[in-house]
Amino acid sequence: MSKKLSSNSMDDVDRLFQCFKCGISPPASAMREKKRSKKMLNSEYDSPVTCKKLQLSSLSRLSGKRGERNQIDGSVSVDSVSGSRDVKKSVGRQFSPIVFYGSPNGVPPKKPLSLLRLLREIRIDLSEERKAISRKGVWATFPRQEEAIKFEKRHDNVRIFSYQDHFSGQRRFLVSSYEEFWKRYLSMDPRHRHHYEVIQEGLPCHMYFDLEFNQKENEGKNVDEMVDILISVILEALREKYAIEGQEDWIVELDSSTKDKFSRHVIVIIPKVAFKDNSHVGAFVGELCSRIVNAKETDERLRKLFVHKEANDSASLLFVDTAVYSRNRCFRLALSSKAGKTSVLLPTGRFKCKDMGERDVFMTSLICNVESDCEKLLVCKMESDCMKTLCFDTEVNSNNLVRDQNAQKFQLNASTSDMSTSYFGGKSPFPQLDQFIESTASTGNVPGCI
């Protein structure tokens, strides 16, 4: 049913735009009134008195236009009499120039009643679609990420995932709720789980790290000690930049290491707090890495976090991968392996996941699974007046609700540092509403803007 409604009904903003561009069709009651009025008009024209008046007026007009011909012929042509019939037939087909060519000032305003009818139809369509979805879990796959994002924007309580086909290795995208995904994920053959979470651009998320290095080129490394040192640096930075006293119970640690490669995910779950999106996480991690690099000469402990890429490589690199903070990044899920590989990403048994079951581990390790009671969003971005200086700030959610859709759905955040601009200027937190206002504000070839 959901599929049928989605295919038969246009997107709400598209429908509004098309209706305001082409004109809203009048309701059935108005059409009946028009038919009755047209019928009455025809009956008036069919009356003998009206026909006689039309014939006389037609003769006078035609005689004026054909004055030269009348002077030559000396009489009025018989066609002038039949012309009255043509006039009578074409009376109901006349259009005003504005209707035919369009208004030079854009589409004229429509009656509020017609607009309300249209909005009511849209509301009914969306309501029916939501009911259909609630009756059956959403599970839709797409070959391209753009299609998955577009579908996700039209549905509530869903997220975007990615997976690789076990046999072909082809990557596809799917949209589902966390619960529906877990239900199918659990029943799947563990060898066929090659799934990733898409960390959507603009979506609040937890801080996460991808740690890796070549085991053969870095023999003798104590990996648990390395992770512990990194965690201590993370908690210290949270205390310094955001006045947050961190705890090790906030740490989720997953491992998929082999004898050749060390690979571990570390996720920091701060109660009632999340980063504004993964770009802010990336900026914070970048600052963290710079701090470690600058302090390694004076702090012997931090030198343990550096590894060699190759055996003969004298230069050492930090074992933190800083390339995983790009927009719409795919991040491997717990209990999954890479296609063609056998090493599965599993909890290490330390920190937060020590006594958790599979379901709790899966749900807790989701980067974008931010609880609805989140009160604060952490911000880490470049200063507007100085591109080399990072700004560490927080944004408080006015309703204690974190946005439950993609970067373009229903989030209202009150900025503690920029209250005026966030409330009294610029675009609203509702992109579809902004598009609707801009389309209706357009005049001729001049586009409207906010």
CA distance 309 to 217: 7
Distance, first Cα to last Cα, the chain: 37
The beta strand positions in 215-282, using DSSP E, are: 251-255, 261-268, 273-275
Q: Are 142 and 174 in contact (CB under 8 A)?
A: yes
Strand 251-255's sheet: what is its strand order? 207-214, 261-268, 251-255, 346-347
Does residue 414 contact residue 395 with C-beta atoms inside 8 Å?
A: yes
**For position 448, what pLDDT does the model report?**
72
Specify the higher pLDDT residue, 415 or 441: 441
Contact (Cβ atoms closer than 8 angstroms) between residue 335 and residue 347: no
| Summary mean pLDDT of the chain | 75
CA 361/CA 351 separation, integer angstroms: 12
CA atoms within 13 A on the CB side of 441: 10
Rounded mean pLDDT of 308-334? 88
Neighbour order of strands in the sheet with 413-415: 273-275, 376-383, 386-397, 413-415
Annotate 321-344 with DSSP letters as a single string: -TTTTSTTEEEEPTT-B-TT---B
Q: Which of 24-28, 192-196, 403-407, 428-432 has the lowest mean pLDDT?
A: 403-407
CA distance 27 to 5: 22
Per-residue pLDDT averaged across 309-321, rounded?
80
Structure tokens at 446: 């001049």
Rounded Cα–Cα distance for residues 182 and 167 (Å): 22
pLDDT at 68 over 70: no
Specify the pLDDT at position 89. Answer: 47
Residue carrying structure tokens 């006078």:
60
pLDDT of 404 reads: 45
Q: Which amino acid is at 60?
A: S
Q: Would you say how long the chain is, in residues?
A: 450
Residue 317, token pair as written in the block: 């690199």
Q: What is the pLDDT of residues 74-93, one digit of tens each?
A: 433 334 344 444 444 444 55
Q: Which residues of 311-320 are buried (b: 16+ CB within 10 A; e: fewer)?
A: eeeeeeebbb
pLDDT band at 66 (very low <50, low <70, confident <90, very high): very low
Q: Which of 22-31, 93-102, 149-158, 372-381 has the lowest mean pLDDT?
A: 22-31
Side chain identity at 24, as an amino acid letter? I
Which pLDDT belongs to residue 264? 96
CA distances from 98 to 38, 105, 233 (A): 21, 10, 70
**258, 224 Cβ separation under 8 angstroms:** no
Cα–Cα distance, 40 to 38 (Å, whole number) = 5
Give the C-alpha distances (Å, rounded to integers) separating 153 from 172, 397, 419.
18, 21, 28
Query: Does 43 or 137 have the greater pLDDT score?
Result: 137
Q: Flag whether pLDDT at 209 surpasses 50.
A: yes
Amino acid occupying residue 14? D
| Dihedral over Cα of 200, 202, 204, 207: its sign | positive
Rg (CA), the chain: 34
User: pLDDT of 260-310, one tens digit each?
Assistant: 999 999 999 999 999 999 999 999 999 999 999 999 889 989 999 999 887
Average pLDDT of span 390-419: 49
DSSP, collapsed to helix, strand or coil, labels residue 251 as strand
Cβ density class 2-41: b for 16+ within 10 Å, e for less: beebbeebeebbebbbebbeeebeeeeeeeeeeeeeeeee
Q: Give the global pTM.
A: 0.61
* Mean pLDDT along residues 250-258: 95
pLDDT higher than threshold 80 for residue 177 = yes
Q: Residue 214 — φ and ψ, nearest 5°?
A: -80, 120
